[in-house]
Amino acid sequence: MHGKAKDVFDFFVRMERSGISPSDVTYIAILSACSHAGLVDKGRSYFNRMVNVGFVPRIEHYGCMVDLLGRAGYLEEAKELILNMPIKSDDVIWKALLGACKLHKNVEIGRRAAEVLMQLAPHDSGAYVAISNIYASSGDWDAVAEVRLMMKDLDIRKDPGCSWIEIDGVIHEFLVEDDSHPSAKEIHSMLEEISNKLNFEGYRPDTTQVLLKMDETHKESVLHYHSEKIAVAFGLISTTPKTPLQIVKNLRICEDCHSSMKLISKIYNRKITIRDRKRFHHFEHGSCSCMDYW
């Protein structure tokens, strides 16, 4: 989860050399490491090895494999793995496939995954939001409108993006485009400074990350005020230079914020750690621990 897949494999080898037999939980860690690092062949190999030594794969192992295959773009193989499992699939494993479809903009398989999820968890907003975003990324705004109407009819509401940062023992919470904080004026000034410095470094907002039907200027404004950017701005004005910043976000960090954070860590000489819904991102000196694969 911290982007140290090589360490996972090294410890696994050392463990075996010490005479300690891996358990089925050990293989969950190994497969998860393969998924986070995009090591598809290595993941397949470990999964087969686990089966060959006598372990019966659990839903967690299949979930790791679906996540691994899906992230790497093997969506058809991931779907077939779910359909051919000897155990009943759950909403978590279908969410992994749907998330991969969103990443790779695959409408066909994404629609199938969303339909299954809507049956398994009809009032969970995740499936509706994900398939809506897939439609939006392909420019099918009529389909987006249908999904939003369905959500309205079922009274399903999307979880807003939210980030938290702790300063001097006090936790501060920020939503997207949030101006309710007592230091809102100072935060806004810092955001403007960050924006100017990012532009000087050659950064350009990735408006494809805003899956809403609006003009480019408005999209850039929305990106400018994502919750993690607001939290970082507050951290910068509230701490001394070189103080590390640690932020928690309830959703997956978007590609635009990820690119921005790498540059911000370099410009302000700060280590910035963001724990999003999937993993930890350690930004430092203009790079991230995930090696841009998450």
| Reported confidence tier of residue 92, pLDDT bands at 50, 70, 90 | very high
Phi, psi values for residue 210, rounded to 5°: -95, 100
Q: In this structure, are residues 228 and 257 in contact, taking their beta carbons and an 8 Å threshold?
A: yes
- Give the pLDDT confidence score for residue 186 in this predicted structure: 97
- Sequence-distant (6+) residues with CB within 8 A of 188 are 179
pTM higher than 0.95 for the full model?
Answer: no
pLDDT, one tens digit per residue, over 260-280 is 999 999 999 999 999 999 899
Quick: pLDDT tens for 14-71. 999 999 999 999 999 999 999 999 999 999 999 999 999 999 999 999 999 999 999 9
Residue percentage of the chain with pLDDT more than 70: 97
Domains and CATH numbers, the chain: 5-154 (1.25.40.10), 162-288 (no CATH)
Strand partners, 274: 247, 281
SS (H, E, C) 99-144: HHHHHHCCHHHHHHHHHHHHHHCCCCHHHHHHHHHHHHHCCCHHHH
Q: What is the mean pLDDT of the chain?
A: 93
Per-residue pLDDT reduced to its tens digit, 96-113: 999 999 999 999 999 999
- The residues facing 165 across adjacent strands are 172, 247
Among candidates 122, 123, 129, which has minimal Cα distance to 101? 129
Q: Residue 208: is its pLDDT beyond 80?
A: no
